[in-house]
Amino acid sequence: MDVRRAVVEDTGSMAGVIAAVAPEDTLGAQPPVDVEGRAQGFRELIAGSGAAWVLVEAGAVLGYVSLTPRTRGVFGLGMAIVPAGRGRGGGRALVEAALGWARLSDAHKVDLEVWPDNARAIALYAATGFVVEGLRDRHYLRADGTLRSSLIMACRVD
């Protein structure tokens, strides 16, 4: 598996990763995923002041990480890997690629939100330098009508 910067040609596959992972309920995105809308969002991100990387094996995109400009000097991190690509260091490699780029930018922080029960993702973020900054209590209205809390985690890059 290799990690490389995402290019426009990857954006459909990146959106496909979201569609494949969303039914697990580990992401903010819920089915049905607007794949073309997501691909367009990735195209705009890559063409603008954000950045993204893909996890690739045998020419197939297995996962991605994206950095989206938030408030000045802060990028928001989002990521997903299809089940077949997990548990082999790809998550760590994606996060490290994104943090390495952010450290060379003018940014001072990378932040993210994660469901409090997503132990695997939280372990990855903690292992790569993220700390918990807070909890959004009962914040997100889900398709089934429940309210979900999210952990806010962030990593200094200045």
Ligand X SMILES: CC(C)(COP(=O)(O)OP(=O)(O)OC[C@H]1O[C@@H](n2cnc3c(N)ncnc32)[C@H](O)[C@@H]1OP(=O)(O)O)[C@@H](O)C(=O)NCCC(=O)NCCS
Torsion angle (degrees, nearest 10) of CA 128, 90, 54, 25: -80
Q: Which of 123, 131, 135, 141 binds ligand X (CB under 6 A)?
A: 123
Stretch that binds ligand X, among 4-12, 46-54, 79-87, 129-137 (CB under 6 A): 79-87
84 lines the binding site for ligand X (CB under 6 A)? no
CB atoms within 10 A of CB 14: 26
Closest CA to 28 of 38, 39, 43, 13: 38
| Minimum distance of ligand X from residue 90's CB (angstroms) | 4
What are the strands, taking DSSP E only, across 33-130?
Answer: 51-57, 60-69, 74-81, 109-114
Separation in Å, CA 94 to CA 43, 104, 128, 146, 152: 19, 16, 11, 31, 19
8 lines the binding site for ligand X (CB under 6 A)? no
Q: Which of 87, 100, 116, 134 binds ligand X (CB under 6 A)?
A: 87
103 lines the binding site for ligand X (CB under 6 A)? no
Helix axes 119-127, 90-104, angle to 10 degrees: 40
114 lines the binding site for ligand X (CB under 6 A)? yes
18 lines the binding site for ligand X (CB under 6 A)? no
Between residues 28 and 73, which has the closer beta carbon with respect to ligand X? 28
121 lines the binding site for ligand X (CB under 6 A)? yes
41 lines the binding site for ligand X (CB under 6 A)? no
